[in-house]
Structure 1
């Protein structure tokens, strides 16, 4: 398993990490015509809610999202989340391969505060994720 176009994925990753670009999420999917290769399938600037709507319930996908939240009345924090999505309709053999393939994805999308293993779009509730980010970052609740 490898990436169809690794430089395209890295470019999108760098845009999400940049404070100068509006892009704040990406989705990596399997390239149907290429078998085991992963490809950048979509990017956006609508945050976690938009990302959740774009995930395919019949696929295993990987996503990376920038989450900004208020730390207090005067400051905000920026954290990054890796999402490992296994939709409810994902085929059994594809589900089984995610644990191995996710290692390669993590090497490419290396910097993240938390990993969210999601099976349902409800697993990507922004309030719940911000709570997890605060705990991971040591900020008080």
Structure 2
């Protein structure tokens, strides 16, 4: 079981969801050698701003907002990503699916769920492709 009791986790999630708040992303990871989740960063920029937090030896859960649509209609969409670095210990990897269920008790609303293993998986072009696919209609013709 993952300990998500830190109120800062829920607050960071709420901040990303709040249209009046500038926060566009939050990253959660574990305190050293524990199953206790903590906020390791929040920000107001794009995906590129949080990528440095995603080291190859950690598991992290990332919640972020992107703007989707066309010239006629732009709207926020939310993405939930599980990050599993290449050098994560095997027991930590084994617990991800169970722990992710605990995280989803807080991070409940998102258009797209992704799993990422390297920074290329989170390139904004890749993310937006997944968001458009999840939205049904793609007026950009990029599928």
TM-score, normalised relative to structure 1: 0.91
Taking the aligned partners of 2:3 and 2:73, their CA distance within structure 1 comes to 39
Equivalent in the alignment of 1:107: 105
Which of the residues 73, 76, 79 maps onto 1:75? 73
Retained in 2: the 8 A contact 1:67–1:80? yes
Equivalent in the alignment of 2:90: 92
| Shift in Å, 1:139 | 2.6
SS at match of 2:102: helix
SS at match of 2:55: coil
SS at match of 1:51: helix
User: Residues 45-104 of structure 1, C-alpha deviation per residue, up to 9 Å, x if partnerless?
Assistant: 1121212232121101111001113x2223212100001000011111101110110001
Retained in 2: the 8 A contact 1:29–1:61? yes
SS at match of 2:97: helix
| Shift in Å, 1:38 | 0.8
Taking the aligned partners of 2:137 and 2:53, their CA distance within structure 1 comes to 30
How large is the RMSD of aligned CA atoms in angstroms? Answer: 1.3
TM-score, normalised relative to structure 2: 0.90
Retained in 1: the 8 A contact 2:64–2:79? yes
Taking the aligned partners of 2:137 and 2:11, their CA distance within structure 1 comes to 30
Alignment of 1:54-69 (within 5 A): 54-69=53-68
Equivalent in the alignment of 1:14: 14
Taking the aligned partners of 1:88 and 1:102, their CA distance within structure 2 comes to 18
Aligned residue-pair number: 138
Question: 4+ residue runs of structure 1 moved beyond 4 angstroms?
Answer: none
Alignment of 1:113-124 (within 5 A): 113-124=111-122
Equivalent in the alignment of 2:29: 29
Equivalent in the alignment of 1:2: 3
